[in-house]
Amino acid sequence: MIGYIFLGCLVCFVFGSPYIQTNLELSTPIIQQVTYPIDHAEGPSWDARKNILFYVDIHTGRVFSYHYNTSLVHYITLNGNVTPVVTSENNPNLLIVGLNRSVVAVEWDGTNEIGNQRVLTTVSEEFPTSRMNDGKADKEGRLWFGTMGAENTSTGALTPNNGVLYKITKDNLDNPAIEIAPVNISNGLAWNSANDLFYYIDTPSLTIVEYQYDDVNGTISNPRVAVNIRSFTNLTGSPDGMTIDIDDNLWIALYGGGAIIKADPKTGELLQVVALPARDVTSAIWGGPDLDILYVTTSRVSLTSDEKKYYPEAGSVFAVTNLFTKGRPVFNANIVDNI
């Protein structure tokens, strides 16, 4: 199925309040709501070839596209929990998607009806109730996809130590490599500008771990805690998705913390807090023609009815500008060209 909506009027926010930009306030982050709310927006990825932001609504199986040039939002629906979504290097109309415990190639141009689908691999047979949660492609097109344990729908409790971070290549589809295990909730990933450091989040650990990264072999080693969320005593929430800017500072979504934060992984220092009109902030990616827009996804799935009234924009994608930095191009997957 496919749906769309045109957002003819964008709502602007600064720290949760309606806002109209003036020339006297150029140092303040500008926050625009650019999509309508969904239950659990996650996994944003920018396709510079089309000026499209792809993202997902995990539990409804929907993959969305937000078109920068028109503000149109389209979606397709897959059968299961869906996240993440990664664009392909040699086929601009092919997406690589995490679906339940599988990696699936899906033909979709971001606008028209869904095309063919093919399961490329299925992981974590030993954890049948686990699912994919976050992932990206590295510079060479290898996939780094992570899983998480099952969530109890009534209590929210997580099955511990049922997650794994996998490395998936053209050559190991039958047996993806295990890079980090066990983990609880495999989440945000990023590589630095020199491509010799890799950053990773296992959400309950409340830390961002830095690894030495060998791009030739696609290996990680020598982990150290780069950012400890516990040290930011004035903040709440847990680290979720993450991206990195051209200055090699990390932008970390705080689920339950109502903000995305900028941190220096070299020193562990908190540099900036950008509050959002949503309690549960899930992830972020740089996009726009100049890669200077920070697209931030949010969730409403865990909110009560009263909390949804307090956070009516929760579940939307927000565009944050005026941050005085930008991102680098998103890496595309290179594990399959056609279905």
Q: Which residues are catalytic, by number? A: 240
Structure tokens at 269: 């220092």
**Is residue 140 annotated as involved in ligand binding?**
no
**Is residue 131 annotated as involved in ligand binding?**
yes
**Is residue 133 annotated as involved in ligand binding?**
yes
**Is residue 151 annotated as involved in ligand binding?**
yes
Distance CA 259, CA 16 (A): 10
Query: Helix H segments across 196-288?
Result: none
**Is residue 152 annotated as involved in ligand binding?**
no
Distance CA 65, CA 158 (A): 30
- The b/e string for 199-208 (b: 16+ C-beta within 10 A; e otherwise) is bbbbbbbbbb
Residues 97, 104: contact at Cβ < 8 Å?
Answer: yes
334: closest CA among 175, 215, 169, 98?
169
Distance CA 260, CA 68 (A): 22
Residues 94, 103: contact at Cβ < 8 Å?
Answer: no
**Is residue 240 annotated as involved in ligand binding?**
yes
Query: Helix H segments across the chain?
Result: 305-310
320: closest CA among 272, 286, 289?
286
- Please enumerate, by residue number, every residue annotated as part of a binding site: 42, 131, 133, 151, 187, 240
- Please enumerate, by residue number, every residue annotated as part of a binding site for substrate: 131, 133, 151
- Please enumerate, by residue number, every residue annotated as part of a binding site for a divalent metal cation: 42, 187, 240
